[in-house]
Each structure stands twice: as C-alpha cells, then as structure tokens.
Amino acid sequence: MFTQAENEAQESWYFYQQSAAIIIRSQLDIDALFKHLRKFTRIYNPQTDTWLQYHFYAPYWIEDMLHCMTPGQLSKFWGKAIDHIIALKPLKKSVSVISCKAQLNKEKPSKIELTERMSNALEQCKTERFIQEIITWISQNEQIHPDLNTENLVDIMTEQASLLRELNINSQVAITKLLSAVYRTNLVVTQWGDEIKQFLLDAEMSQDMKADQVVIALNHYIKSSGEL
C-alpha cells in the first residue's frame, strides 16, 4: 500500500523501505473489519468540495489524524471495530500503541471531514514531527554551538523553518542542511544578511544546491569572523 523508493537517497522518506505498517487488533472477523475500514480510504474536503485519498494506514499519518480528531470523529473511526492500533516505524526504532475505545463509549459519532480546523491541526502536527526529526538528526551528527539556547530548541528551529519557507525553501533536505548550520553556528536566519536572503529567493538552482552554498558561506563567516 506504500510507494517504493526509486533509489537509496529516497529510502528514508518512503514507508516501503522502512517496513512501516499499522497492526489493528479487533474482535471482528477480517471481512467485517475490512468493511468498516474501507469507509475511511477517502475523505471529503468541504473547503474545495472534493474527495481525497485518505492514507489512514500510514503509521505517522494515523498518529497525527487521531491526535487532530474531535471525540465524535474518533468515535466514528474507532466504532466497535478497533480495540488497539499499533504503529510500526522500524527505521525510527519506534512503536506506538494507541487505544481510546474505552473513553468513546458515550461519544456520538460525527462526520470525518477535512475542515479548515482539521487541516490546520494536521499541518501543525506534521511541522512538529518534522522539526523533532531534524533536531534528533542534527544532535546526532552536528556539534552544537555553545551559545545556542537548547532549552527552547524546538521553538527556535520551528521559527527558523518558517522563515526559510518565506524564502521559498520547502525541500526537507535543504531545510535540514540550513537548520544544521543554525545549530552549529548559532547564526539565525535574521542574521544572514540581505545578500544571502536574496540568493535563496532568486538563484536559479535547486533548493538543495542553494542550501549547500549558504552553508559554505556561513562556515566561512565563522572561520573569518567577518560580515555576512
């Protein structure tokens, strides 16, 4: 049910290579469970009046989805069909066991739609997970600058990622490279100077190549203690 990566460079972003999956514990037989779950393979977006594919079976997605649902929506999804959901993410060495059936007995089921509230909540979950993954990777591979405020690291990196997106940097690889530079140099985006910001906005090259050039410039700045 997942796409296979085309090359090794993509493997960490594709669930097929990660052997990722969800396991559902249910008292129903397989046919009854299938009938229940097939109702959630699509979701209606009232903002655009369209139906979208809904990959609830993706380990990260189901965690975010359940976190963002109202009690009534949880009751609709859980129903009498699901006892537990186990989300497996071997590449991240992570397993989540999710159970909320007991708390939903008195909740009236409600429609599951991709409303503006749910869209915003899902985007927030996605951003938080992305930032946490970056911080974990950086902390394992980079030497932290002694003056960087580690107590508010999540807030700092979230703000920096937002500023990078304002400079048209949306590639996860590019953002990771540039946030690594922030982590290592303690030079936040607002300190980078107009030339670097304009370069990120206008240079005719890939975002990843732009990130490489900016990292080189920041490293040079640190070594020379000059101006950006």
Q: Would you say residue 102 lies in a domain?
A: yes
Indicate if 106 and 47 belong to the same structural domain: yes
**Domain end among 74, 94, 113:** 113
Strands of the chain, DSSP E? 21-25, 42-45, 50-53, 84-89, 94-98
Give mean pLDDT, residues 168-173. Answer: 89
**The last residue of a domain, from among 93, 113, 133:** 113
pTM as predicted? 0.69
Q: What percent of the chain is modeled with pLDDT above 70?
A: 87
Closest CA to 162 of 140, 135, 189: 189
Per-residue pLDDT tens over the stretch 190-211: 888 888 989 999 888 899 999 9
Task: Identify the pLDDT of residue 19.
Answer: 57
Identify which has the larger pLDDT, 5 or 182: 182
Query: Which one has a higher pLDDT value, 200 or 13?
Result: 200
